[in-house]
Structure 1
Amino acid sequence: MTSRQVPLGSGYGPFTTAEQVIAGIDLTGRTAIVTGGSSGLGLEMVRVLTGAGARAVIPVRDAEKARRTLGGMPNVDVDTIELADPASIDAFAARFLSSGHSLNILIHSAGIMASPLEHTREGHEMQLAVNHLAPFRLTCRLFPALRAAKRARVVSLSSRAHRISPFDFEDPDFAMRPYEPWTAYGQSKTANALFALGLDRRGEVHGVRAFSVHPGSILTDLARHLSRDQVAAFGALDDGGEPRIDPANDLKTVQQGAATAIWCATSRALDGLGGVYCEDCDIAPVRDAADSRKDGVRPWASDPDLSEKLWALSENMTGTRLDA
């Protein structure tokens, strides 16, 4: 495990909003890409980044729908991408690179959760493909623009769900073991944390730092594969059937949920740091598997050796290398 995985005492916490962590930060002249930036947490991230002066590029499946949702938000460009399609990822990255813009911030916010069993054309389990292999491929393709920025940050949205499952290197695509939606989701969230660790190791010399984030438990479109009874079973609804807001117990508003990613993307307190898993706008402690506390990162999601093993596997699964 990395010695950097130690809380800073940032002064923030579960009630902190994205607006609060970005206060006083000027992003004029900087460019950010936010996948999933037209809804939920991603939309809030785009709102505060552009409010601080950044230009935001939002790659989405349905560009027209995204433009309607964004309602003419300034400093936002919408492009298309299909995260389950490697060719679509490559095409988006090629379009961005051809613009000549450097890339200061890359936030991987898009994802799917606890979905039914499905495989991509390449044979990869869909949650692994969309939540990990797509961000891996996109980051590798965009790395020249990240490197050109001299100081860039990549933020990958992980989850406390990483506690559900380590990464199964023997059967990542559920070709042999029975498929369980939450196990697949947990594996993909472990992969997000290990990916940030591996990327930071490779990017540091180029000024590219990487972070993984647990945003909190926020009821957004990510829960579209869950029934209302399943959502209620998590304690996410109040007595009136509305989303329960209780930040002290990880049930956050969208504004609070976007805060840790924005903190990782912009805070000067993280200068010189990277490869860490963060929550509640601070670096999270490592928690042993037997630890009953809900916060922190498990050893299997913060182990440099496992990160390197996953990096090699991801290269093989995607046929993609990082041009570092």
Structure 2
Amino acid sequence: MFFNYLKIAWRNLLKQKVYAFVNVIGMSAAFSATIILVLVSYREWSFNKFHENRDRIYQFYREEYRPEGIEESTSTPAPMMGAWKRECPGIEKITRFTADTKPVTSGDQSYNYSIGYADADFLDMFSFPLVQGDKRKALAQQDQIIISEKVAAAVFKGGQVVGKPLTVKYSGGKDRTYIVSGVMQNVPELSSIKFELLARFERAPYYDEIKEDWDSHSYRLFAQLQPGVSMSDIERFSKPLVNKYFANGIRDLKRDGAVGDKEGQLIRLKGIPLPEWRFSKVSTYGNGSSKLFPWLLILLGIVITMTACVTL
């Protein structure tokens, strides 16, 4: 019986070839579009999921109550990391981070690569595994640098590269030679943080000039909280530290006529959880879209498929 139905359907298709062709093409296009939309949504949800500690990592940002309204900024002063590491309970690990692109030379060869600068806790917080070297010692010294497999293959043609020199050219002729201390897997495409080489934060450009300057806000600050500690706990613990270390900024806000929140705070420290970076409008690593964006793509795919089923 089933085969008879198939035969009848096939005969009808042969009798109406143009109509059948249009239906097949239309349904194929609708299903293809839906599959693409679903894959795009899945990709957006997959950012940063490879980090093992992602549920306890936050990017800090300041919330300032200015006369013209609330201003949010992820830029932090260089000495903030050390102060919060010493004085703020509940923080397990903490690191600053910045990145820029510099010429890199080895022998007579020159390349341009993105160099990240971070503190010693960085490799323990984020899951960027090394294929050569020991991550516990890879950033122990200020003359050490970690490179990606891509850089190792291009510059050193692969092989064992730990211990080899690598020169980075900085502005003003301040070239600096590092010793390769590790080779890491290439940073995944679905990582918000991007870099191809990683050096100690103390080697970041202009660090020496502002390392003790609380009024120069230039860097990103990430913290991994202790188990059982929430970001609201850190916000509460940080209140006296903010009043202590950001006294100049608070004084300027009062001078300009700013009015604080219901508790009178003019500056608050807050945090963005790593899983929310991708859709955050505050985070440095947000893409500017809403959390609803992937759901809207899936809804659009459903509408396209249903419309094709009804009309074709």
Same fold (TM over 0.5): no
TM bucket normalised to smaller: under 0.3
TM-score, normalised relative to structure 2 = 0.25
Larger Rg: 2
TM-score, normalised relative to structure 1 = 0.24
